[in-house]
Protein backbone atom coordinates (compact mmCIF):
# COMPACT_ATOMS: atom_id res chain seq x y z
CA UNK A 1 0.00 0.00 0.00
CA UNK A 2 1.02 3.59 -0.56
CA UNK A 3 0.83 6.06 2.32
CA UNK A 4 -2.35 7.52 0.82
CA UNK A 5 -3.91 4.07 0.54
CA UNK A 6 -3.01 3.32 4.15
CA UNK A 7 -4.59 6.59 5.26
CA UNK A 8 -7.76 5.82 3.31
CA UNK A 9 -7.99 2.37 4.90
CA UNK A 10 -7.39 3.74 8.41
CA UNK A 11 -10.06 6.41 8.03
CA UNK A 12 -12.61 3.96 6.65
CA UNK A 13 -11.97 1.26 9.25
CA UNK A 14 -11.94 3.62 12.19
CA UNK A 15 -15.18 5.14 10.94
CA UNK A 16 -16.73 1.67 10.98
CA UNK A 17 -15.40 0.82 14.42
CA UNK A 18 -16.19 4.18 16.02
CA UNK A 19 -19.07 5.91 14.22
CA UNK A 20 -19.62 8.01 17.33
CA UNK A 21 -16.76 9.79 19.06
CA UNK A 22 -17.77 10.95 22.56
CA UNK A 23 -15.31 13.16 24.38
CA UNK A 24 -13.74 10.94 27.07
CA UNK A 25 -13.23 13.77 29.58
CA UNK A 26 -16.32 14.77 31.54
CA UNK A 27 -17.09 18.49 31.29
CA UNK A 28 -19.99 20.89 30.88
CA UNK A 29 -18.46 23.84 29.01
CA UNK A 30 -15.20 25.07 27.43
CA UNK A 31 -13.73 26.11 30.78
CA UNK A 32 -14.26 22.78 32.51
CA UNK A 33 -12.97 20.99 29.40
CA UNK A 34 -9.83 23.15 29.43
CA UNK A 35 -9.20 22.26 33.07
CA UNK A 36 -9.85 18.56 32.45
CA UNK A 37 -7.49 18.44 29.47
CA UNK A 38 -4.80 20.23 31.47
CA UNK A 39 -5.19 17.66 34.25
CA UNK A 40 -4.95 14.77 31.77
CA UNK A 41 -1.26 15.42 31.07
CA UNK A 42 0.57 12.22 32.14
CA UNK A 43 -2.67 11.02 33.75
CA UNK A 44 -5.46 8.74 32.59
CA UNK A 45 -8.86 10.08 31.59
CA UNK A 46 -10.43 7.72 34.13
CA UNK A 47 -8.46 9.31 36.96
CA UNK A 48 -9.22 12.82 35.72
CA UNK A 49 -12.94 12.01 35.63
CA UNK A 50 -12.70 10.87 39.25
CA UNK A 51 -11.04 14.11 40.37
CA UNK A 52 -12.82 16.83 38.37
CA UNK A 53 -16.18 16.38 40.16
CA UNK A 54 -14.38 17.15 43.42
CA UNK A 55 -12.68 20.21 41.94
CA UNK A 56 -15.72 21.50 40.07
CA UNK A 57 -17.90 21.14 43.15
CA UNK A 58 -15.68 23.79 44.66
CA UNK A 59 -15.04 25.84 41.53
CA UNK A 60 -16.29 25.37 37.98
CA UNK A 61 -15.80 28.93 36.72
CA UNK A 62 -12.76 31.20 36.61
CA UNK A 63 -14.41 33.48 39.17
CA UNK A 64 -14.83 30.66 41.66
CA UNK A 65 -11.43 29.14 40.93
CA UNK A 66 -9.42 32.21 41.88
CA UNK A 67 -11.21 32.29 45.23
CA UNK A 68 -9.36 29.09 46.04
CA UNK A 69 -5.68 29.16 46.88
CA UNK A 70 -3.12 27.35 44.76
CA UNK A 71 -2.58 25.06 47.74
CA UNK A 72 -6.28 24.19 47.93
CA UNK A 73 -6.37 23.38 44.21
CA UNK A 74 -3.23 21.29 44.56
CA UNK A 75 -4.69 19.25 47.41
CA UNK A 76 -7.72 18.34 45.30
CA UNK A 77 -5.89 17.48 42.08
CA UNK A 78 -2.90 15.71 43.67
CA UNK A 79 -3.97 12.22 42.44
CA UNK A 80 -3.62 13.46 38.83
CA UNK A 81 0.11 13.97 39.22
CA UNK A 82 2.24 17.04 38.54
CA UNK A 83 -0.02 18.86 40.99
CA UNK A 84 2.35 21.76 41.80
CA UNK A 85 2.59 22.79 38.15
CA UNK A 86 -1.03 22.04 37.31
CA UNK A 87 -2.46 23.90 40.29
CA UNK A 88 -0.44 27.01 39.49
CA UNK A 89 -1.53 26.73 35.88
CA UNK A 90 -5.21 26.39 36.75
CA UNK A 91 -5.12 29.38 39.08
CA UNK A 92 -3.04 31.47 36.67
CA UNK A 93 -5.10 30.78 33.56
CA UNK A 94 -8.31 31.47 35.48
CA UNK A 95 -6.97 34.89 36.45
CA UNK A 96 -5.94 35.63 32.86
CA UNK A 97 -9.34 34.56 31.51
CA UNK A 98 -10.96 37.07 33.86
CA UNK A 99 -8.47 39.86 33.24
CA UNK A 100 -8.06 39.51 29.49
CA UNK A 101 -10.97 37.49 28.07
CA UNK A 102 -14.04 38.47 30.03
CA UNK A 103 -14.00 35.21 31.94
CA UNK A 104 -14.47 33.19 28.75
CA UNK A 105 -12.20 30.65 27.11
CA UNK A 106 -10.98 32.31 23.88
CA UNK A 107 -11.72 30.69 20.54
CA UNK A 108 -8.19 31.41 19.42
CA UNK A 109 -5.23 29.04 19.23
CA UNK A 110 -2.53 31.58 20.07
CA UNK A 111 -4.51 32.98 23.01
CA UNK A 112 -5.01 29.48 24.39
CA UNK A 113 -1.35 28.58 24.00
CA UNK A 114 -0.43 31.75 25.89
CA UNK A 115 -2.26 30.53 29.00
CA UNK A 116 -0.18 29.00 31.83
CA UNK A 117 0.29 25.22 31.57
CA UNK A 118 -1.55 25.11 28.22
CA UNK A 119 0.53 23.71 25.39
CA UNK A 120 -0.23 23.16 21.73
CA UNK A 121 -1.88 19.78 22.27
CA UNK A 122 -4.17 21.03 25.04
CA UNK A 123 -5.11 24.10 23.00
CA UNK A 124 -5.84 21.89 19.98
CA UNK A 125 -8.12 19.63 22.01
CA UNK A 126 -10.10 22.61 23.29
CA UNK A 127 -10.39 24.15 19.85
CA UNK A 128 -11.64 20.89 18.32
CA UNK A 129 -13.80 19.48 21.10
CA UNK A 130 -15.17 22.63 22.71
CA UNK A 131 -15.58 24.82 19.64
CA UNK A 132 -15.67 22.41 16.69
CA UNK A 133 -12.72 24.10 15.00
CA UNK A 134 -10.73 21.68 12.83
CA UNK A 135 -7.60 20.59 14.68
CA UNK A 136 -5.58 17.38 14.98
CA UNK A 137 -4.21 17.11 18.53
CA UNK A 138 -1.37 14.61 18.61
CA UNK A 139 -0.35 12.95 21.87
CA UNK A 140 2.17 10.18 22.39
CA UNK A 141 -0.44 7.50 21.62
CA UNK A 142 -1.41 8.99 18.24
CA UNK A 143 2.28 9.56 17.53
CA UNK A 144 2.96 5.85 18.17
CA UNK A 145 0.09 4.57 16.01
CA UNK A 146 0.88 6.92 13.15
CA UNK A 147 4.37 5.44 13.07
CA UNK A 148 3.13 1.86 13.24
CA UNK A 149 0.76 2.57 10.38
CA UNK A 150 3.38 4.23 8.21
CA UNK A 151 1.62 7.59 8.16
CA UNK A 152 4.56 9.65 9.40
CA UNK A 153 8.34 9.60 9.58
CA UNK A 154 7.89 9.78 13.32
CA UNK A 155 10.51 12.35 14.31
CA UNK A 156 8.28 14.16 16.82
CA UNK A 157 4.66 15.05 17.51
CA UNK A 158 4.98 18.30 15.55
CA UNK A 159 5.99 16.42 12.41
CA UNK A 160 3.34 13.77 13.02
CA UNK A 161 0.61 16.41 13.28
CA UNK A 162 1.80 18.01 10.05
CA UNK A 163 1.88 14.65 8.24
CA UNK A 164 -1.58 13.61 9.44
CA UNK A 165 -3.11 16.93 8.44
CA UNK A 166 -1.70 16.46 4.94
CA UNK A 167 -3.03 12.91 4.64
CA UNK A 168 -6.57 13.32 5.95
CA UNK A 169 -9.31 15.76 4.90
CA UNK A 170 -9.75 18.64 7.30
CA UNK A 171 -13.39 17.71 7.88
CA UNK A 172 -12.27 14.41 9.44
CA UNK A 173 -9.60 15.71 11.84
CA UNK A 174 -11.71 16.16 14.96
CA UNK A 175 -13.30 12.71 14.75
CA UNK A 176 -10.11 10.95 13.69
CA UNK A 177 -8.21 12.32 16.66
CA UNK A 178 -10.62 10.58 19.02
CA UNK A 179 -11.02 7.46 16.88
CA UNK A 180 -7.27 6.84 16.87
CA UNK A 181 -7.16 7.31 20.65
CA UNK A 182 -10.04 4.86 21.16
CA UNK A 183 -8.45 2.29 18.85
CA UNK A 184 -5.05 2.67 20.47
CA UNK A 185 -6.48 2.06 23.94
CA UNK A 186 -8.55 -0.95 22.91
CA UNK A 187 -6.44 -2.66 20.26
CA UNK A 188 -3.04 -1.07 19.63
CA UNK A 189 -1.68 -0.07 23.02
CA UNK A 190 2.02 0.37 23.75
CA UNK A 191 2.23 -3.10 25.30
CA UNK A 192 -0.69 -4.83 23.63
CA UNK A 193 0.61 -4.46 20.07
CA UNK A 194 4.06 -4.04 18.57
CA UNK A 195 2.96 -3.26 15.02
CA UNK A 196 2.23 -6.88 14.15
CA UNK A 197 -0.72 -7.83 16.36
CA UNK A 198 -3.81 -5.63 15.98
CA UNK A 199 -6.22 -5.69 13.04
CA UNK A 200 -5.13 -2.45 11.41
CA UNK A 201 -1.40 -3.14 11.78
CA UNK A 202 -1.86 -6.57 10.19
CA UNK A 203 -4.05 -5.19 7.40
CA UNK A 204 -1.58 -2.44 6.51
CA UNK A 205 1.56 -4.56 6.88
CA UNK A 206 0.59 -8.23 6.41
CA UNK A 207 4.22 -9.22 5.78
CA UNK A 208 5.69 -7.40 8.77
CA UNK A 209 7.46 -10.02 10.88
CA UNK A 210 9.43 -7.94 13.35
CA UNK A 211 8.07 -5.44 15.88
CA UNK A 212 7.85 -1.86 14.71
CA UNK A 213 10.22 0.17 16.84
CA UNK A 214 8.64 3.59 17.29
CA UNK A 215 10.52 6.80 17.90
CA UNK A 216 9.52 8.66 21.04
CA UNK A 217 8.16 12.16 20.63
Range of the domain at 175: 3-21+136-204
Q: What is the pLDDT of residues 64-107, one digit of tens each?
A: 999 999 999 999 999 999 999 999 999 999 999 999 999 999 99
Active-site residue, selected from the candidate residues 75, 121, 165, 207? 121
29 is catalytic: no
Active-site residue, selected from the candidate residues 60, 86, 139, 163? 139
121 is catalytic: yes
Could you say which of 131, 149, 177 is where a domain stops?
Answer: 131
Which sign, positive or negative, has the C-alpha torsion 208, 187, 46, 156? positive
Q: Which residue, 150, 152, 115, is CA-closest to 136?
A: 152
At 107, which CATH number? 1.10.340.30
Whether 155 is in a domain gets the answer yes
Q: What is the pLDDT of residues 179-198, one digit of tens each?
A: 999 999 999 999 999 999 99
Residue 25, by phi and psi: left (phi above 0), alpha (psi -120 to 50) or beta?
beta
d(CA 95, CA 152): 39
Residue 16: CB atoms within 10 A of its CB come to: 9
Whether 195 is in a domain gets the answer yes
Indicate the number of domains in the chain. Answer: 2
Q: In the chain, what are the helix, strand and coil shares in percent, each to the nearest 5?
A: 60, 0, 40
Helices of type H across 40-139? 45-58, 62-65, 70-77, 83-100, 109-113, 120-131
* Domain match, 34 and 118 both: yes
Amino acid sequence: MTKTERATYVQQRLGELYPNTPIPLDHKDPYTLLIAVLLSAQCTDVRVNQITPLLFARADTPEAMIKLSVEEIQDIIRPCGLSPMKSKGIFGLSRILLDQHGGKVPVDMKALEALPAVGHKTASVVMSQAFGVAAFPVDTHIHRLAQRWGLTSGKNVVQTERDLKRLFPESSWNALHLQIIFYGREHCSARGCDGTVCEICRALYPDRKRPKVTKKS
